[in-house]
Amino acid sequence: MNATPSTSLFVRHDYRWAMTLFHRTRADLILAAVSAFELFRFLLDDFAWSSPVHVIYLTMHGLVLILALVRRKPVTVDRHLGTLVLCGISYLYPYLIIPLWIVREPEPIAPGIGITILAASGLFSLWSLAVLGASFGIRPARRRLVRHGPFRWIRHPIYLSYFVSDAGLLLAGFDVVLVLAFIGSWAAMTARLMLEERILQEDPAWRSYVSHTRYRLVPGLF
């Protein structure tokens, strides 16, 4: 969650962002490699273009790949082992859900509504990611504080989209084991966003931002 409107990747008018392509960290390259693998895996899938949901998530992987190659270097990074574990759980849990879904064969509840929710949450996540731009990261870090787009309303819109998409997935196919997996991932993501805020508090604009954008995920609740 870090970038001002004047320096967002998508509105910058200078060429300096391109120079960062030649100064990538190991974390950037790992993220780019994972995103490239997912992108090509999606493209080779027979269902890649079969529904709007697939196209949305395909686009998201492509955007993450680009951001991994042009994102800003952080001012501060949380390098604690516990934080790394939380980030790993929250980032990799979709890779657990897919085989679980295949093995468990969940019972459909309202598949049409579930798919619609998945598409809507995917679009919201894609918008949030585009606004975040070159300040995107996996580990809690301080780059530039984002205060526009969906970040005007809540401080962690991408996490909200994850929670909503999981709810849509459960409507498409319900299973108790899947619910337990989601609860574990939600707990990890909630702890991760709290660690992110601990880092972001170092930003001079943080106090002003929090006074205007009071809620982390759900306006009026949290």
Q: Domain containing 64 — which CATH number?
A: 1.20.120.1630
Using CA atoms, how far apart are residues 119 and 169, in angstroms rounded to an integer?
Answer: 11
Three-state secondary-structure class, residue 213 = coil
Using CA atoms, how far apart are residues 157 and 149, in angstroms rounded to an integer?
Answer: 10
Phi then psi dihedrals of residue 141, to 5 deg: -155, 160
Above 70 in pLDDT, residue 167?
Answer: yes
Q: Is residue 218 part of a domain?
A: no
Q: Is residue 222 part of a domain?
A: no
Q: Is residue 162 part of a domain?
A: yes
Domain that holds residue 190: 5-212
pLDDT digits (tens, 9 = 90+) for 20-44: 555 777 788 888 888 888 888 777 7
The Cα-based distances of 10 to 17, 131, 168 in angstroms read 10, 8, 30
Q: Is residue 200 part of a domain?
A: yes
Residue with tokens 């949450």: 121
% the chain with pLDDT above 90: 36
This prediction's pTM: 0.83
Q: Is residue 220 part of a domain?
A: no
Using CA atoms, how far apart are residues 111 and 21, in angstroms rounded to an integer?
Answer: 42
User: With contact defined as beta carbons under 8 Å apart, do 125 and 158 qualify?
Assistant: yes
Q: What is the DSSP letter of 107?
A: B
pLDDT digits (tens, 9 = 90+) for 82-106: 888 888 888 888 778 878 888 888 8
Q: Is residue 221 part of a domain?
A: no
Phi then psi dihedrals of residue 37, to 5 deg: -60, -45
pLDDT digits (tens, 9 = 90+) for 113-158: 999 999 999 999 999 999 998 889 888 889 889 999 999 999 999 9
Using CA atoms, how far apart are residues 121 and 53, in angstroms rounded to an integer?
Answer: 10
User: With contact defined as beta carbons under 8 Å apart, do 124 and 161 qualify?
Assistant: yes
Q: Is residue 125 part of a domain?
A: yes
Using CA atoms, how far apart are residues 219 and 205, in angstroms rounded to an integer?
Answer: 21
pLDDT band at 49 (very low <50, low <70, confident <90, very high): low
User: With contact defined as beta carbons under 8 Å apart, do 161 and 122 qualify?
Assistant: yes
Domain count across the chain: 1
Over residues 200-213, mean pLDDT: 93
Name the average pLDDT for the chain.
84
Tell which residue, 109, 113, 128, has the closest CA to residue 10.
Answer: 128
Q: Is residue 15 part of a domain?
A: yes
Over residues 199-218, mean pLDDT: 93
Task: Mention every residue, 6+ apart, whose C-beta is less than 8 A from residue 202.
Answer: 75, 76, 142
CB neighbourhood size of 209 (10 A): 18
Task: Mention every residue, 6+ apart, whose C-beta is less than 8 A from residue 115.
Answer: 51, 53, 168, 172
Taken as a whole, the chain contains a residue count of 222
